[in-house]
Amino acid sequence: MERIPVAGPWITQKEIDYVTDAVTNAWYNNANIYHDRFENAFAAYVGRKYGISLPSCTSGLHLALLSLGVGTGDEVVVPDITWIATSAPISYVGASPVFADIDELSWCLSAESFAERITPKTKAVIIVDLYGNMPDMDAILELAEKHGIAVIEDAAEAIGSEYKGRKAGSFGEVSTFSFHGSKTLTTGEGGMLVTDREDIYQRCLFLRDHGRDPHSKMFWNTEVAYKYKMSSMQAALGLAQLERIEELVIRKRQIFDWYKESLGGFSGINLNHEAEGVKNTYWMVTAILNKKLGVQKPELIERLKEKGIDARPFFNPLSTLPAYQGVLPELQPQNTVSLSLSPFGINLPSALNLTQEQVIYVTEGLKRCVTT
């Protein structure tokens, strides 16, 4: 069997046709036609008023923090388990990240840990919909409102996920998405910022275009800002993918069901959780091994690689990364759940072109790797 990739898109003739049309016609007076269509359709799908297409989710988080006035002297709470792209923009604006623990089942921000990390300096919290799952939004939003903390939702991995009937990306003051090539909806590279607040929308539009007022005279910049724009070809690809989003989400959930069925009855491996009232889109099918199996993620990934199966490690706690050693404002409490789960977690192949036969091959290989 050919090597099985850990992630990848599902591209059809629709995407090819849209991108071809953008390359051919999205110039001159039509330069923004696909941007407008994609942004409007995406905001409507998520349930937001405004959408801004961007080169990455990271740039979206950067703009979100700036638009909320987060800066030097402020603290931003962020879950310890996520990719550094969530926390890096906090440093971009001169604020300090404060790492909170994750929930043992959802692997998303723990409301209890968030409450413990709040200080008078806490200006914002970034919620992460990890691997397509959703945290206890009610508890987190209640805490944030009580303490006057701005909420940013990093929905990079959760297009199509839901919490009590509301789509991922519809929570907080502003939300962001990733369209990296590994994501459920892709533009190759790219992202989207969505919000219901016109002031945030206008501020982000201004900041992403070199700090110039579109209603002022040409090339008249009133602030030093940023160049955060998506190409028309990317927007066309994103629009085509968005028009197939339900199909893509169904496939993701089907892949998870194949894994769950194939691993049924095998003890010692826990897959992604889906709480009551939550729709998990399982961007990455993830396995947490029981410590008693005696296998940690680096060794397991190498064993799977020998069988032609690509896998990637469950995110390392941000608080343990070299990038953050010696730069945090003070010694922060250990996040015990993050530290206990991370060494034993891997992301299994979750590409949209996976077949059930491949999933069975992966699970049979996984079983052998943890029992021999």
How far is it, in rounded angstroms, from Cα 97 to Cα 7?
29
- Tens digits of residue pLDDT in 84-136: 999 999 999 999 999 999 999 999 999 999 999 999 999 999 999 999 999 99
| CATH number assigned to the domain covering 13-242 | 3.40.640.10
Q: What is the pLDDT of residue 214?
A: 82
Parallel/antiparallel/unpaired status of strands 278-279 and 191-195: unpaired
Q: Is 47 left (phi over 0), alpha (psi -120 to 50) or beta?
A: left
Order of strands, sheet of 345-347, starting from the edge strand that comes earlier in the sequence: 269-271, 286-289, 345-347, 312-313
Q: What is the pLDDT of residue 194?
A: 98
Q: What is the pLDDT of residue 370?
A: 94
Place 157 in a pLDDT band, splitting at 50, 70 and 90.
very high
**Average pLDDT of the residues in 151-172:** 98
Q: Which fold has domain 246-371?
A: Aspartate Aminotransferase, domain 1 (3.90.1150)
- Tens digits of residue pLDDT in 253-301: 999 999 999 999 899 999 999 999 999 999 999 999 999 999 999 999 9
**Average pLDDT of the residues in 55-67:** 98
Least reliable range by pLDDT among 72-76, 153-157, 286-290, 291-295: 291-295
- Tens digits of residue pLDDT in 215-227: 888 999 999 999 9
The residue ranges of every structural domain in the chain are 13-242, 246-371
The residue type of 160 is G
Q: What is the pLDDT of residue 372?
A: 77
Q: What is the pLDDT of residue 63?
A: 98
Average pLDDT, the chain: 96
Q: What is the pLDDT of residue 273?
A: 98
Q: What is the pLDDT of residue 344?
A: 97
Secondary structure (H, E, C), 276-331:
CCEECCCCCCEEEECHHHCCCHHHHHHHHHHCCECCEECCCCHHHCHHHCCCCCCC
Q: What percent of the chain has pLDDT over 90?
A: 94
Q: What is the pLDDT of residue 62?
A: 98
**Average pLDDT of the residues in 189-212:** 97
**Average pLDDT of the residues in 323-344:** 87
pLDDT over threshold 80, residue 328: no
Inter-residue contact 316 to 298 (CB < 8 Å): no
Q: What is the pLDDT of residue 333?
A: 82
pLDDT over threshold 70, residue 331: no
**Average pLDDT of the residues in 70-79:** 97
Q: What is the pLDDT of residue 330?
A: 66
Q: What is the pLDDT of residue 293?
A: 92
